[in-house]
Amino acid sequence: MSIMNEQSGILLFDKSEGRISLKEELTLKKKLDLKKCGHLGTLDPFASGLLIIGVNKGTRVLGMFEEWRKTYIATIKLGELTDTGDLTGNIVKTKEVSPHKKEEIENVLNSFLGKSKQIPPMYSALKRDGVPLYKLARDGIEVERKQREIDIKDIYLNEYDSINNTITFTADVSKGTYIRTLGEDISTKLDELGHLIKLRRIKVGEFSIEQSKDFGNISLEDLIPIHELFKEIPLIEITNPSIEKRVRNGSEIYFKSKHDKVFFTKDGEDLAIYARLDEQKYKSVKQFA
């Protein structure tokens, strides 16, 4: 019987096409013999790219980074509309494709810059009365969805293939942006039908796909420790046993420091982030011990 590895942090994983994020996570957990793991920002099965995996206590930081922006490279196939918005769905409508100029496509892409409203697709993990929308969609049930505010910081054309009727673009988007819906909306503004045939996430927050490893090459040597995710917070090694005990329990402490926040560690173990209450009093804002 193996002893599960208790190292903590995050792994930057390159998810392959055709795989479900949760299955990739569970397979990785088994491969690396981990106690616990979780992922930030699910990718559709047909999509590939950067998946951030929290390892052991590293799962506790994932919620802190949910607002991170994400960057994708996507390819739209013009002329066909599918019920899912991607190549995994059934074609529900077709239309002959008109020729387009590169400048026209660039103008349409630029029209999506900034804040706007987007209606989430039925084929999504959003829930209605506890039931995921994609399950309702598979049963032929469509429900009203509220518009969400999204923010597109950057979007540009990579390639327009007029022979195969495809448009490849890159977009830097806020949390909650559905690229499948964006692909359909771009097609509509071009007076076309369209769906995504390729999607790759290349950036999440400060991390890029170039830093990631695929399943065959990833190991615990690639683990990024929790404290490295908070480089702006001073790292302090605890030497006082009584302070260590209180920090491990998440109790308030009296601690003389010039910093508003401090990150406590002990012998390489990440313990907690503490924030100043007054001149010498600090409280726990995030526990890792």
Which sequence positions are flagged as catalytic?
A: 44
Q: Could you tell me where the DSSP H helices lie in the chain?
A: 21-32, 102-110, 133-138, 179-189, 241-249
Total residues belonging to the chain: 289
Q: How far apart are the two ends of the chain, measured CA to CA in Å?
A: 25
φ/ψ of 92, rounded to 5, equals -110, -15
- Of 160, 174, 43, 33, the closest CA to residue 106 belongs to 160
Contact present, 117 and 149 (Cβ < 8 Å) = yes
Q: Which residues contact 203 (CB under 8 A, 6 or more apart)?
A: 50, 69, 70, 71, 172, 209
Contact present, 150 and 161 (Cβ < 8 Å) = no
Contact present, 278 and 50 (Cβ < 8 Å) = no
Q: Going by DSSP bridges, is the β-strand pair 148-161/131-132 parallel, antiparallel, or unpaired?
A: unpaired
- Using a CB cutoff of 8 Å and minimum separation of 24, what contacts does 15-23 make? 15/43, 15/47, 15/48, 15/49, 15/50, 15/51, 16/48, 16/214, 16/215, 17/45, 17/46, 17/47, 17/48, 18/45, 18/46, 19/45, 20/45, 21/51
